[in-house]
Amino acid sequence: MSWEVTVSVDSVIYPLSVVQRASYALAPTLMIQIRQTENLIHLDAAPTLLAGGAGAVISAQEARELILRNLNDFALRAQIQHETSGLREILATAALRGAGI
């Protein structure tokens, strides 16, 4: 199994923090090197060659799909966290008041 794949994404849609989280989550399966150009982030991926590692990624196409799925997942998580930050603060304040703190 010797293949490599490069996935290039727009850094506005997928900020570096999202790309780093997705890469870390995929580390047991894929070795990913992150490169940045002006407005693009490039993820160079190859299969992780560790004994007893998680399930092997069979093809470059499967790796591309796995990377994009994880990027979308972490981008959505970041968006939800951003949109609900005010609500979390209100709930935490109400909980502390209710507890008498």
DSSP secondary structure of 67-82: HHHHHHHHHHHHHHHH
pLDDT-derived band at 87 (thresholds 50, 70, 90) equals confident
The pLDDT score that the predictor gives to residue 51 is: 54
Find the range with the poorest average confidence among 6-10, 42-46, 90-94. Answer: 90-94
Residue whose token pair is 């502390």: 96
Euclidean distance between CA atoms 91 and 77, whole angstroms: 19
26 close to 57: Cβ distance less than 8 angstroms: no
Query: Domain containing 29: what range?
Result: 5-98
The model's pTM is 0.78
Which of 25, 23, 26 shows the shortest CA–CA distance to 34? 23
| Residue with more model confidence, 85 or 74 | 74
**Single-letter amino acid code for the residue at 94:** A
Domain tally for the chain?
Answer: 1
The pLDDT score that the predictor gives to residue 98 is: 84
pLDDT at residue 84 greater than cutoff 90? no
